[in-house]
């Protein structure tokens, strides 16, 4: 705690790794590549879960739980799916002291086992649509890991829906992408771009993958959530058929969509600064910390009386508040500590504040004097609620401005190679996988997405110069 | 759905198995012994989770997430623990296409990996107590499985706490047992008995295990939640030490406590009847179903207007209500369907009700005319809320009376052998494991618990006749 964080601008990777540990969001587990999500990190995830789950239920979805273990041969039923996931599997070969006849895979994602169950449950058009989501853990045997961003086990939700028609399934895919974007922008203050993945970047087994892409503080891209239109690929692999109104057997159309604890990494990397985390008020486990300031026992008792009263009023108003009444550390230490943990607003109350019936407010997003104000204790709950909204809006505005300032429109391939070293390129692309592969080989930048909103007109592919009707974002990504 | 359930009194086991499937609470997974918790069952579990989580947070606990995988050698550090769990382990031997140097165990419970992390985090008395809970899945390779009651993978919460003193840890153990009992009695209307497990029935690695025991509808016992005082067993195995106020290194004292999806089995078996589930209103995913009754389109439109208005008022009042407006099935079918699913209260609205400004209420817990009443639409939300409370209380009273009527005080060992065939015995026991083993061998009944509240005086052991200062419950158990 006494040690300072590495500088964010000088060493973004070290800053990130140390911040996750210091802020007690997560820790390394004794199993390679696994993480422990500590209570402060889990409280943040619980707030993310609540914000998403509310949106899922508002759009007609229900939750369920499917098994952790999947028979190995299930994965083999969808050719692209097994090719995509087999290098990353954790395999259970023994159970109850005996070798299993067929090894079980620890789920890397659940399309196959859910597809099997849907085939059992879905009989008629009356059973459709099926709109199920699952909150849980999955395992992918990654070689290079990083807390939250890429771990062997991670936590997520995976929605799996089945529909009578292609149109409905395509609508669902985009509806849930929209839910993710709404969550990211309005809850996490992370301005994401909604778009379609290229063929080479899509999910193993999907017909079309859509994504929300965010720009991190080091200008690299992060895929922050995905929604897939699976066509009839899994319906055919698992024989999910229904009798339509004309009594004809039809395959269903399915989708899947997921957002994971990786999103916590996005929040850290979009908003954090040299002092530590900066959490968006709507998701922050602690929205306001109150630090009492006093020099002797008589000051302490009058200060603590005001602290408790103000704290009580904020709690009453539904604001998540913590009173830091530790005796063994100084107020200065507390300021640094809570700044590092990203609490959006600090309230200081000292003897003078008691006298004047005021408090000092310090905004986390604006360091120093500029972010400080003095307000009356009367009406404090409303003042604080408004300030939290202001901070939320300011974080989104700042992240949006940063993103927009770092998206470039290079005039030629040489310039593209330059700009993706420290930003994104938004360029015409003919759609050929070869052009995409060339950019990746030359620059490590990949196509992130073709934005949903599209572009007018046409241009020339930034790589090969052929006619192009779409623009794509190129960026180095996590 | 057209098929009737087996009779509960004639074939309790079949009744249970078919009801779980028919009510769509859960289904068999394609992996032996695993279950799929379907949306209706998961919604019930979500309500259980919310009721428990609120109580955990009120008693100062926070949530976190520890890894699914545990290195095999961790389990071996606590001798009794590994002996208890090693026959039930699922083992991952391969990851990412390669054989692992050390196999990983899929957690059967997390004392060991959490102990390892606590040793890393706890340095000083200032870090204590640590009060962490985790919601998640665990795996135990059971041979004989039954949906909810005993499955390879199940869902639960496991609390793990560390304390500076033995006294604090013992207090925590009983505090959490009390939380479970309060939840069981006041949310699930399951009248449980709090008590201490015998040495032979305790958790592998515990110094003392405490339990809440419930009587099912077939008079068998079910261990519905446990809270363990672990002494310094895991502290010593994982070297969890802290510097006390005198700067001396001390081992911490730990506890663990868990309640699982097994509890759903208890709710089914305590309250259910020949018609199906009977869910306690406080936990029911749907508290009230409204069934419209009409014969033609003009009736339909006026009835549906009233249905929507009544439904809206109930929703507004925070009551979980469903309108069953299916056209393809009859009202009679709907009545049976929702009775089978255990919805506590049904509202029927037909043309005469519209005329009179009334509705018909039908209680799930009292079948037929006796449970039916006609009430005004005016003030419906309050009427329904009161009725739900009445039903909740009636379920608890009925289950308590049933339990008490089936606990016997046999006068000798011969009578004990009789009564445990169809009930519980509450008898003096000397405490010897041999007497306990004899009862088990002769009757299949095990000691369930020595009640916390204790008994006055002393008596003679029901088995051996030696002096006994405690009474214990003997029963056949799930």
Question: B177-181 — which CB contacts under 8 Å span 24+ positions?
Answer: B177/B210, B177/B211, B177/B212, B177/B225, B177/B227, B177/B257, B177/B452, B179/B52, B179/B55, B179/B56, B179/B59, B180/B212, B180/B224, B180/B225, B180/B227, B180/B257, B180/B259, B181/B212
Query: Is residue A42 within 8 angstroms of chain B, CB to CB?
Result: yes
Question: What 3-state class would DSSP assign to A461?
Answer: coil
Residues B225 and B358 in one domain: no
If DSSP codes are grouped into helix, strand and coil, which group holds residue A185?
helix
CATH number for the domain including B195?
3.30.930.10
- Residue B454 pLDDT: 83
**Predicted pLDDT at B323:** 98
Burial B113-142 (b: 16+ CB within 10 A, else e): bbbbbbbeebeebeebbbbbbbbbbbbbbb
Band (pLDDT 50/70/90 cuts) for residue B396 is very high
Domain-terminating residue out of B403, B421, B450: B403
Angle between helices A166-186 and A39-58 (to 10 degrees): 140
- As a whole number of angstroms, the distance between CA B189 and CA B396 comes to 4
User: Same structural domain for residues B200 and B76?
Assistant: yes
On whether any CB of chain A is under 8 Å from the CB of B90, the answer is yes
As a whole number of angstroms, the distance between CA A58 and CA A178 comes to: 13
A43 vs A283: CA distance, rounded Å: 9
Query: Are residues A266 and A146 part of one domain?
Result: yes
Mean pLDDT in residue range B302-328: 97
- In this predicted structure, the answer to whether residue B92 has a pLDDT above a threshold of 90 is yes
Residues B277-283: what's their mean pLDDT?
98
Collapsed DSSP state (helix, strand, coil) of residue A160: strand
Q: Which pLDDT band holds residue A454 (cuts at 50, 70, 90)? A: confident
The answer as to whether A278 is a domain residue is: no
**Sign of torsion, CA A451 A454 A460 A466?**
positive
Pick from A284, A44, A65: nearest CA to B138: A65
- The values of phi and psi at residue A454, to 5°, are 75, 180
Q: State how far the alpha carbon of A307 is from the alpha carbons of A287, A295, A302, A317, in Å.
A: 16, 15, 9, 15
Whether the pLDDT of residue B2 is over 80: the answer is no
Shortest Cα–Cα distance, A297 to chain B (Å): 22
- The answer to whether residue A3 scores a pLDDT higher than 80 is no
Instruction: For chains A and B, count residue pairs whose Cβ atoms are closer than 8 Å.
Output: 167
CA distance A96 to A301: 61
Interface check B143 vs A, CB under 8 A: yes
pLDDT of amino acid B1: 47
Would you call B31 and A74 a contact, using CB atoms and an 8 Å cutoff?
no
pLDDT digits (tens, 9 = 90+) for A217-227: 999 999 999 99
Instruction: Give chain B positions within 8 Å (CB) of A337.
Output: none
Contact state of B94 with A97 under an 8 Å Cβ cutoff:
no
pLDDT at B373: 97
CA distance A97 to chain B (A): 6
Q: Mind giving me the DSSP string for A403-442?
A: HHHTEE--SSHHHHHHHTTSSEEEEEE---HHHHHHHHHH
SS3 B270: helix
Query: Are A411 and A382 in the same domain?
Result: no
Could you tell me if residue B281 is inside a domain?
A: no
Residues of chain A positioned with their CB less than 8 A from the CB of B89: 94-97
Residues of B with Cβ-Cβ distance to A34 under 8 angstroms = 67-69
Same domain, A223 and A320: no
Q: How far is A232 from chain B (nearest CA, A)?
A: 22
CATH code of the domain containing B461: 3.30.110.30
Residue finishing a domain among B378, B403, B428: B403
Shared domain check, B259 and B121: yes
Contact: A116, B43; criterion CB under 8 Å:
no
Distance in Å, alpha carbon of B102 to nearest chain A alpha carbon: 10
Question: Residue A304 is part of a domain; what is its CATH number?
Answer: 3.40.50.800
Domain membership flag for residue A204: yes
**What pLDDT digit, counting tens, does each position of A64-91 carry?**
999 999 999 999 998 898 899 999 999 9
Q: B6: which DSSP letter?
A: P
In this predicted structure, what is the pLDDT of residue B339? 97
Q: A199 CA to chain B: closest CA distance, Å?
A: 24
B88: chain A residues, CB-CB within 8 Å: 96
Which residues in chain B are contacts of A30 at CB distance < 8 A? 71, 74, 113, 116
Which of A31, A71, A93 is the closest to B91 by Cβ? Answer: A93
B92/A90 Cβ within 8 A:
yes
Range name among A34-38, A226-230, B326-330 with the lowest pLDDT average: B326-330
For B154-168, what is the mean pLDDT? 98
- In this structure, the strands spanning B26-28 and B90-95 are unpaired
The average confidence (pLDDT) of chain A is 97
Q: In whole angstroms, give the CA distance from residue A387 to residue B154.
A: 44
Check CB contact under 8 Å for B31 and A126: no
Same domain assignment for residues A333 and A434: no
- Tell me the pLDDT of chain B averaged across its residues: 97
Interface residue A155 vs chain B (CB under 8 A): yes
Q: How confident is the model at residue B183 (pLDDT cuts 50, 70, 90)?
A: very high
Residue B4 maps to a domain: no
Please answer yes or no on whether B27 and A113 come within 8 Å at the CB atom: no
* Surface of A (59-78) touching B: CB under 8 A: 62-71, 74
Q: Are residue B399 and residue B453 in the same domain, yes or no?
A: no
pLDDT at A399 (0 to 100):
98
Is pLDDT of A1 > 50?
no
Q: Considering only residues 282 to 321 of chain A, which have any Cβ-Cβ distance to chain B shorter than 8 Å?
A: none
Helix B262-271 and helix B380-405, axial crossing angle in degrees, nearest 10: 90
Contact across the interface for A29 and B67, Cβ inside 8 Å: yes
pLDDT tens digits along A11-29: 999 999 999 999 999 999 9
Q: Using a CB-CB distance cutoff of 8 angstroms, which residues of chain B are in contact with residue A69?
A: 31, 34, 90, 139, 152-153
CB contact under 8 A, A93 and B97: no
Q: Is the pLDDT of residue A424 over 60?
A: yes
Mean pLDDT computed over B282-309: 97
Report yes or no on A395 lying in a domain.
no
Residue A225 sits in the same domain as residue A132: yes
Facing A68 at nearest CB: one of B96, B121, B139? B139
Q: Do B143 and A38 touch (CB under 8 A)?
A: no
A-chain residues within 8 Å CB-CB of B112? Answer: none
Cα–Cα distance measured from residue B111 to residue B229, given in angstroms and rounded to the nearest whole number: 12
At A242 the three-state DSSP class reads: strand
Q: At what angle do helices B297-316 and B380-405 cross, to 10 degrees?
A: 70
Interatomic CA distance for residues B403 and B218, integer angstroms: 10
Task: Specify whether B20 is located in the same domain as B168.
Answer: yes
Confidence of residue B195 (pLDDT cuts 50, 70, 90): very high
Query: What's the rounded mean pLDDT across residues B408-414?
Result: 98
How many folded domains does chain B comprise? 3
Domain boundary among B271, B296, B331: B271
Q: Does A104 touch chain B (CB under 8 A)?
A: yes
Residues of B in contact with A142 (CB under 8 A): 96
Q: Same structural domain for residues A177 and A144?
A: yes
Q: Are residues B393 and B412 in the same domain?
A: no
> Six-digit token pair at B373?
């009443």
Backbone angles phi, psi at A101, to 5 degrees: -65, -45
Using N-to-C axis directions, what is the helix angle for A12-22 and A262-271, rounded to 10°? 110
A327-385, pLDDT tens digit by residue?
999 999 999 999 999 999 999 999 999 999 999 999 999 999 999 999 999 999 999 99
Q: Which domain holds residue B439?
A: 407-475
Hey, is the C-beta of B95 within 8 angstroms of any chain A C-beta? Answer: yes
Smallest CA-to-CA distance from B224 within B246, B194, B255, B251 is with B194
Residue B465 lies in a domain: yes
pLDDT of residue A4: 83
pLDDT (0 to 100) of residue B31: 95
Q: Are A157 and A134 spatial neighbours (Cβ–Cβ below 8 Å)?
A: yes
Confidence of residue B269 (pLDDT cuts 50, 70, 90): very high
Of chain A, the end-to-end C-alpha distance in Å amounts to: 28
The mean pLDDT of A267-284, rounded to a whole number, is 98
- The pLDDT, as a whole number, for residue B4 is 84
A5 in a structural domain? no
- The pLDDT > 70 percentage for chain B reads 99
Asked whether residue B3 is domain-assigned, the answer is no
The beta strands (E) that lie in B72-220 are given as 90-95, 98-106, 130-139, 153-163, 193-196, 208-215
B89 touches A: beta carbon within 8 Å:
yes
d(CA B208, CA B228): 6
CA distances from A92 to A89, A96, A147, B72, B292 (A): 10, 11, 24, 13, 51
pLDDT(B424) > 70: yes
Beta bridge partners of B426: B473
């Amino acid at each position: 705690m006494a040690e300072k964080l590495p500088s964010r601008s000088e060493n973004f990777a070290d800053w990130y790794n140390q911040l996750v540990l210091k802020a007690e969001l997560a820790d390394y587990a004794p199993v390679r590549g696994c993480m422990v999500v500590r209570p402060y990190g889990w409280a943040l995830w619980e707030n993310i879960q609540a914000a998403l789950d509310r949106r899922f239920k508002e759009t007609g979805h229900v939750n369920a739980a499917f098994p952790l273990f999947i028979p190995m041969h299930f994965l083999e039923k969808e050719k692209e799916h097994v090719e995509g996931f087999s290098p990353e599997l954790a395999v259970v070969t023994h159970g109850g002291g005996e070798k299993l006849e067929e090894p079980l895979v620890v789920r890397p994602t659940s399309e196959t086992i859910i597809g099997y169950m849907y085939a059992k449950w879905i009989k008629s058009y009356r059973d459709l649509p099926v709109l199920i989501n699952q909150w849980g853990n999955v395992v992918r045997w990654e070689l290079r890991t990083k807390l939250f961003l890429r771990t062997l086990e991670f936590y997520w939700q995976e929605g799996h829906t089945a529909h009578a028609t292609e149109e409905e399934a395509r609508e669902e895919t985009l509806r849930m992408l929209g839910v993710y974007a709404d969550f990211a922008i309005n809850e996490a203050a992370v301005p994401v771009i909604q778009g379609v993945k290229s063929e080479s970047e899509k999910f193993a087994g999907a017909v079309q993958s859509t994504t929300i892409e965010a720009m991190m503080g080091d200008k690299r891209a992060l895929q922050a959530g995905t929604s897939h239109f699976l066509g009839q690929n899994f319906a055919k692999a698992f024989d999910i058929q229904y009798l339509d109104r004309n009594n004809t057997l039809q395959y269903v159309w399915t989708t899947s969509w997921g957002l994971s604890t990786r999103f916590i990494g996005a929040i850290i990397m979009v908003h954090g600064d040299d002092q530590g985390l900066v959490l968006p008020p709507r998701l922050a486990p602690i929205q306001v910390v109150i630090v009492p300031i006093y020099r002797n026992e008589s000051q302490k008792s009058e200060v603590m009386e005001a602290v408790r009263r103000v704290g009580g009023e904020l709690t009453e108003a539904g604001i998540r508040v913590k009173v830091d009444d530790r005796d063994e550390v100084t107020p200065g230490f507390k300021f640094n500590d809570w700044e590092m943990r990203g609490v959006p607003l600090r309230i200081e109350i000292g003897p003078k504040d008691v006298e004047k019936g005021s408090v000092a407010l310090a905004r986390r997003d604006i360091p120093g004097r500029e972010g400080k104000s003095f307000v009356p204790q009367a009406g404090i709950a409303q003042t604080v609620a408004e300030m939290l909204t202001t901070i939320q809006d300011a974080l989104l505005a700042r992240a949006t401005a940063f993103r927009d300032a770092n998206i470039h429109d290079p005039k030629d391939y040489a310039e593209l190679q330059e700009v993706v070293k420290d930003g994104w390129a938004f360029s015409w692309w003919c759609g050929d996988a070869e052009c995409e592969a060339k950019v990746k080989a030359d620059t490590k930048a990949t196509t992130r997405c073709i934005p949903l909103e599209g572009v007018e007109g046409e241009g020339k592919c930034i790589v090969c110069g052929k006619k192009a009707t779409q623009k794509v974002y190129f960026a180095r990504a996590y």
